Amino acid sequence: DQQVKQNSPSLSVQEGRISILNCDYTNSMFDYFLWYKKYPAEGPTFLISISSIKDKNEDGRFTVFLNKSAKHLSLHIVPSQPGDSAVYFCAANTYSGAGSYQLTFGKGTKLSVIP
């Protein structure tokens, strides 16, 4: 049951251009969304997040957009840099009660930024 879907396993972008990574979800109970970046043999590193009450959040070169009616979010990276090359995971958070906020992850999109 894929509640969080990242349909593009990979994406290649030229340095300096915009990278757009997409994520769809099915569970309407999700109330907080996060993007993590992961290098090989390392743990996921938090990048940016958005609450379900917002439709946009921006942090430097990174912007996350949320379209609740479409159950879709996207991460924009502008301008893309070679150091951005990594696997990007979309994750969704829901409060499950009794102090549990488990994350549900997508399968990830491998971004390659070409110099």
* Interface contacts to another protein, rule CB under 8 A: 32, 34, 36, 41-46, 49, 51, 89, 91, 93, 96-108
What does the DSSP assignment read for 1-70?
--SEE---SEEEEETTS-EEEEEEE--TT--EEEEEEE-TTS--EEEEEEETT-SEEEETTEEEEEETTT
The CB-of-26 to another protein minimum distance in angstroms stands at: 15
Nearer to another protein, 77 or 90 (CB): 90
Q: Please, which residue, 80 or 89, has the CB nearer to another protein?
A: 89
Which C-beta is closer to another protein: that of 49 or that of 79?
49
